[in-house]
Amino acid sequence: MRYIFFILVNYLTVLFLLAGIWVSVAFGQSWTMRILLFVGWIYLIPPLLTRVILIVLGKPGSTPHMNSRSYRTWYFLTQLQSLFSRLSILESMLRLVPGLYNIWLNLWGSSVHLLTYWGPKVVVTDRYLLHIERSAVLGTECILGSHVLTKSEDTPFALTLGVIRIGAEAIIGSRAIIGPGAYIHQ
């Protein structure tokens, strides 16, 4: 019974997409309007909902256990981001316009300077746990993973969370993996 929350939250992405289709069809007067509504739904609702959750519940703690509210908050926020993790083309499209992806990450709750360069196929796991300063360069296929799950004696999983900080003019090489709480400086 205690895992029911985790099972139900796994359906969030599918329900989110179905709701977006419904909103687009119900309120779109034309095909153009329906497409714009659906694109807006996909790109704006998850980060705005994340911001509301972070304001109401606060950021998840640095080492929450599976039975804690903090862990459930992190898990829910992870599911809000899963559409972008599964369909990485959605983020790649934002990166085509310089600065647009950075603005979008700031909408999630990160602090990303507009002059950040993103190489192809960069992976961001927790879009609200980044602090990236001016002129940072993120190499091809690097991974910014603000969380790590490990086994624990007390619970099935122990979660470690931390903001990733990348200083001004720092360069992250291709395929580098940056973990929770890391600080990379020039």
pLDDT for residue 186? 83
Mean of pLDDT values over 18-36: 96
- Specify the pLDDT at position 149: 87
Rounded to a whole number, what is the distance in angstroms from the first to the last CA of the chain?
Answer: 49
| Of 10, 157, 182, the residue nearest 70 (C-alpha) | 157
Report the pLDDT value the prediction gives residue 3, as an integer from 0 to 100: 81
Least confident of 65-74, 136-145, 158-167: 65-74
**Residue 153 confidence class, pLDDT cut points 50, 70, 90:** confident
* Residue 1 clears pLDDT 60, i.e. is over it: no
**Beta strand residue intervals within the chain, DSSP E:** 111-112, 117-118, 123-124, 130-132, 137-138, 143-144, 147-150, 158-161, 164-166, 171-172, 177-178, 183-184
C-beta of residue 104 within 8 angstroms of C-beta of residue 118: no
Q: Is the pTM of this model over 0.85?
A: yes
DSSP letter assigned to residue 61? P
What is the arithmetic mean of pLDDT over 79-94?
Answer: 95
